[in-house]
A and B are shown apart, each in its own frame.
Chain A
């Protein structure tokens, strides 16, 4: 059939020609948390990767007769299982490269296995410091909090004239603690006083006591480092306690579910992130991704999905450019990707294999995300 599927917007067509030397199937591994509590993120990642793979194969991105196959493995958010899955994929199944694992803590345990086998592993949601320092085969396309938060805080400080804030974070999770550390540094950078710090634990659902403390100090804003599930509760409970000021959050708040579930209470929420569903002026590829994702799964994608989707495309592109399933060739090709048009924006890797693209800082106005910079203009 001639009228092939529409050429995807995401891709790297100009730089690399259609590969010729690839085998019939190219196997790539993916380790996501598909069961236990982490599945909230892992299943979105799996969905997004599958979406990308279907597109890649339909468009013969890797050549007429080459099919990309992703072998998904569940790590259940568990380190041992992540290591076992990585070993299986890399040593037994002989995959070309691996996407994942979902959690940074899993990555610290499992990525060295890939590194030792000279196999590319690309984190699509690892934000902790030191991930790519594990070796030259370790990549990620997820912006660490350090790349997102300082900008958000600086902008917010300017617009809102922040002088004093309350800081709230989960103290037993590597993601939320990283976020907290970056927030704290950024606040100090901008000479904003921290009136009080409160913590919660993973799985908490009630934040009234901490919020009561924070609100009593009458902050200009609440700065919160939390994952999505807690983020919603924190917004709702802070509002129920009568807090009406802005709430500034990191990546965790950057989810359609947060906006949907907190409804009117999300007004004034300021979010920094790598990608946002509600971005009012997204790139074309981002729009297309959202459309396709919604069509396929009847729900809106979040940042996890966008990063996983981009990750799959990046990997396919590296294979395409390498025109080889040699793991080292793929690594080199991946490292060479720059100015790649993706839903995340124009994407490159820096020399440390960390992502480079513009983060977004947005504020919820009338139930919609607006660029913070735009509101600043008013």
Chain B
């Protein structure tokens, strides 16, 4: 603990690390099923706003806010997922970014919009200013407990029929369908689970940072969540967890670099991904790196196979 604090990892940083680990896992679920969805930031904002409105405007306890945020995101994931998950790769990524942007703009204009519909002055999302003065009621143990439960679910998922179906869908959708797997159902279920996790992270985080505004959940946040998962590695669920930890801690640990912080941060990101393309948690990657470092030659493919 003492050591962690001395390198800049205070309790609040640790709390952010835990939250970003949850976000990393929400990304992991979709990536593991072969869906390059960047909707998580959008669902995070839906969760955050729902949760905060429940705790602030309706005086509910945090756990009600949490469940409420998760439920709303989960329900909204259905009409979004059904049309959008037919898309693949970059198309899916962009469509989901589009979803995030539309959510952002709707939250931004919610009060005006609701005001003009109801004819009364509405003050719920409070536009660009966002909601401030949210009490800080999320505690470290909430986050840790949530993460432990999530981790357990991940482990069980991988040993279940559904988890195997997820992997099959990632590798070959038509072949999976011919095995009797309902591809549409699998993808949408995972999308919902991912949305629910992202929303939970949103609620918990909102009650940590005391203020939320639509700008927090834009393109940058979506890309960061992706980076947690990919830098950590998506071959096991531990990767995104570690990725979330590392990418959150890094800028804080590097504070002493002052104006060179960004350069060091960028270089580290670049070096890690270039030398460990499979992410930080990927034994095969480390052993390859080790052989390379020892200068052992092997029958390397000269030109990559891309198909």
A and B touch in the complex (CB under 8 A): yes
- The chain A residues found within 8 Å of chain B, CB to CB, are 34-35, 72-74, 76, 79-81, 83-85, 87-88, 91-92, 105, 108-109, 112-113, 128, 130, 134, 170-174, 176-178, 202
0/1 interface trace, chain B 190-227, chain A, CB 8 Å (1 if under): 00000000000000000001110111100000000000
User: Cβ of B5 and Cβ of A108 under 8 Å apart?
Assistant: no
User: Cβ of B130 and Cβ of A74 under 8 Å apart?
Assistant: no
Per the 8 Å Cβ criterion, residues 120-142 of B in contact with A are 127-130, 132-133, 136
User: Cβ of B209 and Cβ of A88 under 8 Å apart?
Assistant: no
**Is B115 in the interface zone, CB < 8 Å from A?**
no
- Chain B residues, Cβ within 8 Å of A108: 130, 132-133, 210-211
| Minimum CB distance partner of B19 in chain A | A80
| Minimum CB distance partner of A170 in chain B | B128
User: Cβ of B214 and Cβ of A172 under 8 Å apart?
Assistant: yes
User: Cβ of A174 and Cβ of B130 under 8 Å apart?
Assistant: yes
Contact of A73 among B108, B136, B213, B255 (CB under 8 A): B255
**Is B277 in the interface zone, CB < 8 Å from A?**
no
A and B contact pairs by CB, cutoff 8 A, 6 listed: A79-B211, A83-B209, A88-B10, A91-B10, A105-B211, A173-B128
Chain B: minimal CB distance from A325 (Å): 22
- Chain B residues, Cβ within 8 Å of A173: 128, 215
Q: How many residues from B make CB contacts under 8 Å with A?
A: 31
Chain B: minimal CB distance from A119 (Å): 15
Contact of B129 among A76, A81, A170, A178 (CB under 8 A): A178
**Is B98 in the interface zone, CB < 8 Å from A?**
no
User: Cβ of B211 and Cβ of A34 under 8 Å apart?
Assistant: no
Assess A80 versus B215: contact at CB under 8 Å? Given A128-B129, A177-B128.
Answer: no
User: Cβ of B262 and Cβ of A83 under 8 Å apart?
Assistant: no
Chain A: minimal CB distance from B214 (Å): 7
Q: How far is the CA of A170 from the CA of B127 in the complex (A)?
A: 11
Chain A: minimal CB distance from B212 (Å): 9
- The chain B residues found within 8 Å of chain A, CB to CB, are 5, 8, 10-13, 16, 108-109, 127-130, 132-133, 136, 209-211, 213-216, 248, 251-252, 255, 258-259, 261-262
User: Cβ of A174 and Cβ of B259 under 8 Å apart?
Assistant: no
Instruction: Apart from A134-B133, A174-B213, list 12 A-B contacts with CB within 8 A.
Output: A72-B258, A83-B12, A84-B8, A84-B16, A88-B252, A92-B10, A108-B130, A109-B209, A112-B136, A112-B210, A171-B127, A174-B130
Count contacts between A and B, CB distance < 8 Å: 78
User: Cβ of A79 and Cβ of B10 under 8 Å apart?
Assistant: no
Q: How far is the CA of A72 from the CA of B255 in the complex (A)?
A: 10
User: Cβ of A202 and Cβ of B129 under 8 Å apart?
Assistant: no
User: Cβ of B10 and Cβ of A174 under 8 Å apart?
Assistant: no
Assess A109 versus B210: contact at CB under 8 Å? Given A74-B261, A171-B108.
Answer: yes
- Chain A residues, Cβ within 8 Å of B129: 128, 174, 177-178
Q: How far is the CA of A142 from the CA of B127 in the complex (A)?
A: 23
Chain B: minimal CB distance from A141 (Å): 20
User: Cβ of A81 and Cβ of B251 under 8 Å apart?
Assistant: yes
- Chain A residues, Cβ within 8 Å of B136: 112
Contact of A174 among B16, B128, B258 (CB under 8 A): B128
Q: How far is the CA of A292 from the CA of B128 in the complex (A)?
A: 37
- Chain A residues, Cβ within 8 Å of B8: 84, 88
- Chain A residues, Cβ within 8 Å of B252: 81, 84, 88
Chain A: minimal CB distance from B213 (Å): 6
Contact of B216 among A73, A79, A128, A176 (CB under 8 A): A79
- Chain B residues, Cβ within 8 Å of A76: 251
User: Cβ of B209 and Cβ of A80 under 8 Å apart?
Assistant: yes
Assess A84 versus B13: contact at CB under 8 Å? Given A34-B259, A174-B128, A174-B130.
Answer: yes
Assess A202 versus B210: contact at CB under 8 Å? Given A87-B12, A171-B128.
Answer: no
Q: How far is the CA of A172 from the CA of B8 in the complex (A)?
A: 32
- Chain A residues, Cβ within 8 Å of B130: 105, 108, 174
Chain B: minimal CB distance from A50 (Å): 13
User: Cβ of B127 and Cβ of A177 under 8 Å apart?
Assistant: yes
Chain B: minimal CB distance from A349 (Å): 22
Q: How far is the CA of A95 from the CA of B140 in the complex (A)?
A: 25
